[in-house]
Amino acid sequence: MTVQAMLEEFANYPSLQVVLINTTPGMDVRKKMTGFNWEKVKRSFAIFYHYIRDIRHCDAALVFANDLFAITLAPILLLFSKIYGKPFFLKPVGAGLDLFINAQPKLFRIYLLSILRAMEGILTQTQLLKEDLEKMGCANVNYLPGCRPLPAMTLVPKNRSEKMRLVYLGHITRFKGPLILLNALKTSSELCDVQVTCDFYGPIHEEIQNEFLAELNSSPNANYCGIAKAGTGPQLISQYDALVLPTYYDTEGHPGVLIAAMHAGVPVISTQVRTLPELIENGSNGLLVPTQNSHALANAIVQLARDPDMRRKMGEANLHKGQEFRADTVVAKLLKIVFPDFSFVRKPN
């Protein structure tokens, strides 16, 4: 979604021309795709062909890459950028590149770091990844957060009655914590006299489908509402009192759904996993709980359910925090990093 948001924002700069090489695999996101397959080989050759054809006519290359892409294809793309004298910038997807590098054998780790240092810039989604790469000797790192366009929307006034509506929006996969949330909802209903409900939106992954649906059926205060239409996140979230994301991905970056909650002016309940404290200040614009702890999550839900004024203040704080993650703000920063000697003029809205 960050790539799409940037592409839409790039269109607001008349003097900027973007050549896009779309590397997104055509697969069902609900299925786990790992290991070697010929589709990946075919896609790799297509990337090489288009990149070598197009890079000579461009002024710079910006490559979005997951960890595997960064170690396999990015070095070759960097080589051709050097051959044609074009600056090369890497935008790691997520925030686990440092963990991935540290897990490699020493010689391979030295090789990977030499590749990263040879790039003109590494644009990290999180401050933590920036700091860790700098400790590894990479002096070419810039912090460039994830972003979303600021939606044209009307914030929905919240009902301050004795009821709290929660929303989970995202992929329903084990490490995002939906099962933990369902257990917390059961506990919260026992601890709190305020009625709490939660609606789940998102594709259900195969590896969790049966377990999730079974737990859902035994949770009277939880509902599955299907897959939300792309681009409607902030408006959808604005209809609720709080967003819940009990993720325990150890490579979690800046989840787009948290940025959507900021733009919606809605507080967040999430976890203390790695980089999320960069987005959510506990007690200010949301609540953070330990990972994989349904009881702590239930207590946070109860705390927010009992205090409508706290929800209002956290929502206002989140709305303010969201300005940092607007697409126009992030793209303007990106252009200054990639083209420091050129002044781009954005057309008025």
pLDDT over 80 (residue 54): yes
Is residue 25 scored above 80 in pLDDT? no
Domain limits, the chain: 2-148+326-338, 163-324
pLDDT at 37 (0 to 100): 64
Could you give the dihedral angle defined by the CA atoms of residues 327, 329, 335 and 340, in that order, rounded to the nearest 10 degrees?
A: -170
As given in the structure block, the two tokens for residue 6 are: 């940037």
Percent of the residues in the chain that have a pLDDT greater than 70, as a whole number: 93
pLDDT at 189: 87
User: What pLDDT is stored for residue 66 in this prediction?
Assistant: 84
Burial of 181 (0-12, 13-18, 19+ CB in 10 A): buried
Give dist(CA 268, CA 231) in Å, integer.
19
Question: Has residue 138 got a pLDDT over 80?
Answer: yes
215: Cα within 13 Å, side-chain hemisphere: 18
Q: How far is CA 124 from CA 115, 118, 132, 324, in A?
A: 16, 16, 10, 15
348: confidence class by pLDDT, cuts 50, 70, 90: confident
Question: What is the spatial distance between Cα 141 and Cα 138, in angstroms, rounded to a whole number?
Answer: 7
Measured from the Cβ of residue 342, the count of other Cβ atoms closer than 10 Å reads 11
pLDDT tens digit string along 261-317?
999 999 999 999 989 999 999 999 999 999 999 999 999 999 999 999 999 999 999
Residue 4 predicted with pLDDT over 60:
yes
With a cut of 60, say whether residue 31 has pLDDT above it: no
Q: Which residues 6+ apart lie within 8 Å of 75 measured at CB?
A: 115
Using alpha carbons, select from 159, 241, 238, 261 the residue that is nearest to residue 198.
Answer: 241
Sign of the dihedral defined by the CA atoms of residues 94, 99, 105, 108, in that order = positive
- Give the per-residue pLDDT at 29: 46
Report the half-sphere exposure of 237 (CA within 13 A, side-chain side): 29
CATH code: domain 163-324 is: 3.40.50.2000
Q: Which CATH number fits domain 2-148+326-338: 3.40.1000, 3.40.630, 3.30.1370, 3.40.50?
A: 3.40.50
CB-side neighbour CA atoms (13 Å) of 193: 0
Say if CB 59 and CB 51 are below 8 A apart: no
Same fold for the pair 2-148+326-338 and 163-324: yes
Half-sphere exposure of 307 (CA within 13 A, CB side): 16
Give the position of tokens 């949770």. 219
**For residues 106-116, average pLDDT:** 95
Tens-place pLDDT, residues 178-225: 999 999 999 998 888 889 999 999 999 999 999 999 999 999 899 999
Per-range mean pLDDT, top range of 3-12, 65-74, 203-212: 203-212
- Confidence class for position 27, pLDDT limits 50, 70, 90: very low
Q: What is the structure's pLDDT at 22?
A: 81
Element (H, E) at 214: helix 209-217
C-alpha dihedral, 334 to 91 to 97 to 119, nearest 10° = -90
pLDDT, average across residues 253-261 = 93
What pLDDT is recorded for position 33? Answer: 46
Q: Name the DSSP letter for residue 126.
A: S
Q: Tens of pLDDT along 145-175?
A: 989 887 776 666 666 566 899 999 999 999 9
Q: Which of 149-163, 236-250, 330-344 has the lowest mean pLDDT?
A: 149-163
Q: Look at residues 289, 282, 290, 291 and name the one whose alpha carbon lies nearest to residue 318.
A: 282
> Residue 67's closest CA among 112, 19, 27?
112
CA distance 326 to 262: 10
The pLDDT score that the predictor gives to residue 285 is: 96
